Amino acid sequence: MSEQGQLSPTGRFEKILLASDASGFGAGAVRVAIAFATKSGARITALTIVRTNPEYEALAHDLVERAEEDAWNYLDTVVAAAKEAGVACEPMLRRGEDPAREIVEAEVEARPDLLVMGRRGSRGLARMSVGDATVKAIGRGQCSVLVVPRAAEMWTRRILIGTDGSRFGDAAAVTAGAIARVCRLPVTVVGAMVPSHSEARQEDGRRAVERTVQLLQKDGIEADGVVAPGEADSVIVATAKSRDADLIVLGSHGRTGLDRALVGSVCERVIGQASSAVLAVR
C-alpha cells in the first residue's frame, strides 16, 4: 500500500474531470464533484458531449448547432455553480458518436486525478444497469472513476472499502485513506468469503482485511474490518447499508486483473445496486 495509485504526485486530488449532461441523471455527480472539490482544493473541468456524426451533421446541421448551444448553456450553469462554491471550473465540449470514447479522450487531454460521472437507472432492472459509457470509461480510462447516483450526496458519515487482496484492492485502500484524511471520516474494510472460493483464497481475503485495517490505523485513520460470507457485491452493499457508509471504494478490477472485462464484475454490480457514490480505483 505504499503506492499512491492514480493521485497526483503530491498524493492529493488536484484535478477533477466531471462528465455530465442536462438529462438530470448527472445532478448527483455535479453536486458531489463540487462538494468534494471544496474539501480537496481540486479544480474541475466540466465535460459534456454532443452526440453526432458527419452524416447526421450534413442532414441536420441546424439541429446539431442547437444541441451545441444547449450544451454550452448547460456547461455555463455547472461552471457558475462551481464558482459560487469557490471552486475553479472550466468547460469542455466534445462532439462524437461514442460518448465513452469522447470521455476517455477528454481524460487523456485533461489528465485528471479523478473522473466523476452520474449513473442512470433508479430501481428494478434499470437500477442494476450501469450505463455503457460508465462501464467503458472505467474499463478503458487511466484514472479512478467516481459514479454518483442522481440522489446521492457528498459523503459525511463513513467510507467503506471492498478488498480482495489484489493490487487493485490495495490501490483502493490507498485512495480511500487519502479521502478519509481529507474528509476526516472513519473507514470500514470489508471482505467477502465467497462460497465457491477455495479455503486458501478465503484466508487470503481475511488477511487482506486485517492488513488493510492495520495500515489505515497506522496512518492515524479510524478503521475497522468486516468479513462476511456471501457473494462479494451483496456483502459490500449490505455492509455499506448496515454501517451507514455513504461512499464505497473498490478496485476497478479484481484478482483476475485487466484481462477480464469489467462487464459483469463485482465493481459493476456494486455500482448498479448502491444508493451511495462508488469510487472505482485503478
In the chain, what are the domain boundaries?
Answer: 15-149, 159-281
Q: Whole-number mean pLDDT of the chain?
A: 86
264 vs 105 pLDDT, higher one: 105
What is the pLDDT at residue 97? Answer: 87
How is residue 78 written as a grid cell?
Answer: 455547472
Query: Beta strands 43-51 and 15-19: pairing type?
Result: parallel
| Listed residue (193, 120, 192) closest to 161, CA to CA | 192
**CATH assignment, 159-281:** 3.40.50.620
Rounded to whole angstroms, the Cα distance separating 201 from 137 reads 30
The C-alpha torsion from 196 through 250 and 26 to 15, rounded to 10°, is -160
What is the pLDDT at residue 221? Answer: 97
SS3 for 189? strand
What is the pLDDT at residue 238? Answer: 97
Which residues are within 8 A (CB) of 150 and not within 5 positions of it... i.e. 6 or more apart?
24, 25, 26, 27, 28, 118, 119, 122
Q: Please report which residue ranges of the chain form alpha helices under DSSP H.
A: 27-40, 54-59, 61-84, 99-110, 124-128, 132-140, 167-183, 199-218, 232-242, 266-273
Q: Is the pLDDT of residue 225 over 90?
A: yes
What is the pLDDT at residue 91? Answer: 98
Q: Is the pLDDT of residue 123 over 80?
A: no
pTM of the model: 0.87
Q: Is the pLDDT of residue 52 over 90?
A: no
CATH class held by domain 15-149:
alpha beta
Q: Is the pLDDT of residue 256 over 60?
A: no
- 228 and 235 Cβ atoms separated by less than 8 Å: yes
Rounded to whole angstroms, the Cα distance separating 118 from 218 reads 34
Q: What is the mean pLDDT of residues 71-91?
A: 98
| Residue in the structure block whose three cell numbers are 497526483 | 8
Q: Would you place residue 132 in the very low, low, confident or very high pLDDT band (cuts 50, 70, 90)?
A: low
Instruction: Note the pLDDT tens digit of each residue in 270-280.
Output: 998 999 999 99
Report percent pLDDT > 70 for the chain. Answer: 85
Q: Is the pLDDT of residue 157 over 90?
A: yes
Q: Would you place residue 56 in the very low, low, confident or very high pLDDT band (cuts 50, 70, 90)?
A: low
Query: 15-149 and 159-281: same fold?
Result: yes
Q: Would you place residue 58 in the very low, low, confident or very high pLDDT band (cuts 50, 70, 90)?
A: low
Instruction: Note the pLDDT tens digit of each residue in 170-211.
Output: 899 999 999 999 999 999 999 999 888 888 888 888 999 999
32 vs 24 pLDDT, higher one: 32
How is residue 14 written as a grid cell?
Answer: 488536484
Rounded to whole angstroms, the Cα distance separating 252 from 239 reads 19
What is the pLDDT at residue 204? Answer: 85
